[in-house]
Amino acid sequence: MKIRGYHTDRFGHVNHARYVEFLEEGRWIYFEENLLMSPFHEAGIAHVVANLNINYRRPAVVGDILRVETDIMSVGEKSVVMLQEIFKDEGRILVLDASVTDVFIDAKTDKVIPVDDRLLNIWPDLQEKVHP
Amino acid sequence: MKIRGYHTDRFGHVNHARYVEFLEEGRWIYFEENLLMSPFHEAGIAHVVANLNINYRRPAVVGDILRVETDIMSVGEKSVVMLQEIFKDEGRILVLDASVTDVFIDAKTDKVIPVDDRLLNIWPDLQEKVHP
Amino acid sequence: MKIRGYHTDRFGHVNHARYVEFLEEGRWIYFEENLLMSPFHEAGIAHVVANLNINYRRPAVVGDILRVETDIMSVGEKSVVMLQEIFKDEGRILVLDASVTDVFIDAKTDKVIPVDDRLLNIWPDLQEKVHP
Amino acid sequence: MKIRGYHTDRFGHVNHARYVEFLEEGRWIYFEENLLMSPFHEAGIAHVVANLNINYRRPAVVGDILRVETDIMSVGEKSVVMLQEIFKDEGRILVLDASVTDVFIDAKTDKVIPVDDRLLNIWPDLQEKVHP
């Protein structure tokens, strides 16, 4: 995505809230590319962000082209932590890195779902990050 | 409301989309002050913006304190036009003025509702602006 | 652009302020595609939005893919009016149309610049819409 | 601040990026109430957010009235960590808590400034949180 004037504040920097939208966009794209949207929906599983931890490294300015990379960082008993990095200058400069902790919720009962076989079947890439 | 750095773009001006939020905030406050929220909700009437027409007069910058004024401009057969003005410097400088055309919808049938007695009873101030 | 959850309000509709950002994005793209950014910058000419007039036709919801079309609508002595339309469903459904009035400013003196030869040389497509 | 429809997503919850704006608003208010704005500006000291760590506890919905509390959490050699909490229901329900790490920059040289006497004189409340 390309940075426009309306993304930036009066110092010409992309503001903090806007990055949170870029990270959310990155997670949507990850879910789409990994074909997770429909299976989660059909299984009646929602997920919510429980923690968002962002390290702002370098400012992004108008004209910068940002790339968001999203991957699984670790898998706990009741949560999955995603690692997200935003780069500019064709990946040479790290703008920020973030960890995002997702918790899964049964859409009917509103109860937290553990990261068990049901989830691993939908999202097989979790398997390799599960702590043994 | 007081303008902060995160409201402004790289020229230090409040950006166009943010004003649209300020106008929306002004309409919520108008509806609250005129005790319209509950009656509309109970009557199953929703309203949607059909047209938004904004004249940007002067920029607002960090530190400015803005006041939004909202009033009925005119009443048509199927719509109500609100006039909204945003001032700064204690009302001495007009930042923008806008007309916002609202249309009323039956929340059950999704059909447009004419501006008739049912609406005028809920919102008596409409009466004096109805074209004879 | 694809509509995400964070673009929408509690009725599942894209909210009014967000569309204003989409329109702004559309104008940036128009300026880039027509190679207007550098010439304007080099000539020391800025442009500001004096009026924004949006007709909201149909709501857009999560999953919709929107296309913004931007073109010159008319050229006045001191302003240019752009027509912008946002479509969904591969152009079959009009979500909104808007007219955006741009005024040109000398970046040094902050004075309004008339739409004269200097502007027409930079932006030749204006020529055919100039009122005779 | 009162939650409006335009603050929320299609589940009726305030979205993640919006909270980041609320936190920023809370820090501006803290700086104003502690009379820090002018002294920082006069001393040519800017501050930037290096880390933002948010625990989302409970959702906020339309009609909720939120209160943001901001305080110093800890003071390091080159950074200050602020604790921010957002409450609803008159302080009975914690919506989120966040730690925000601020780093100070010399506005002329763009270099990081240590948390030394110059800073402590401007912001005396830091004193009691300095690690001995």
Instruction: Considering the candidates A9, A71, A106, A116, report the single residue annotated as catalytic.
Output: A9
Dump pLDDT digits (tens) for B25-77.
Answer: 999 999 999 999 999 999 999 999 999 999 999 999 999 999 999 999 999 99
D12 touches C: beta carbon within 8 Å: yes
Q: What is the CATH number of the domain that holds B114?
A: 3.10.129.10
Dump pLDDT digits (tens) for D78-90.
Answer: 999 999 999 999 9
Of D10, D16, D17, the CB nearest to C10: D10
Can you give the pLDDT at residue D9? 85
Q: Indicate if the alpha-carbon torsion angle C14, D2, C52, B123 is positive or negative.
A: positive
- Closest-CA distance, A14 to chain B, in angstroms, reads 9
**Sequence-separated contacts (24+) of A76-85 with Cβ below 8 Å:** A76/A115, A76/A131, A77/A114, A77/A115, A78/A103, A78/A104, A78/A112, A78/A113, A78/A114, A78/A115, A79/A50, A79/A103, A79/A115, A80/A104, A80/A115, A80/A126, A82/A27, A82/A30, A84/A23, A84/A26, A84/A27
Instruction: Considering the candidates D9, D71, D106, D116, report the single residue annotated as catalytic.
Output: D9
Residues in D touching B5 (Cβ below 8 Å): 24, 28
Residue C84: Cβ-neighbour burial (10 angstroms; 0-12, 13-18, 19+): buried
Any domain includes A131: no
User: Is B64 in contact with B73 (CB distance < 8 Å)?
Assistant: no
The domain total for chain D is 1
B97 touches D: beta carbon within 8 Å: no
Any domain includes A132: no
Q: Which of D118, D12, D116, D131 lies closest to D64, judged by CA?
A: D12
Residues in C touching A25 (Cβ below 8 Å): 4, 6
Any domain includes A130: no
Residue in C with minimal Cα distance to D7: C9
Is the ipTM reported for this complex over the cut 0.85? yes
Structure pTM?
A: 0.89
Any domain includes B69: yes
Any domain includes B78: yes
Q: Is A104 helix (H, G, I), strand (E, B) or coil?
A: strand
Domain of residue A24, residue span: 5-125
Residue in C with minimal Cα distance to B53: C53
Of B10, B16, B17, the CB nearest to A10: B10
Residues in D touching B4 (Cβ below 8 Å): 24-25, 28
A69 touches C: beta carbon within 8 Å: no
D125 catalytically annotated: no
Per the model's pLDDT, the better-predicted residue between C80 and A129 turns out to be C80
Q: What percent of chain D has pLDDT over 90?
A: 80
Dump pLDDT digits (tens) for C32-42.
Answer: 999 999 999 99
Dump pLDDT digits (tens) for B71-112.
Answer: 999 999 999 999 999 999 999 999 999 999 999 999 899 899
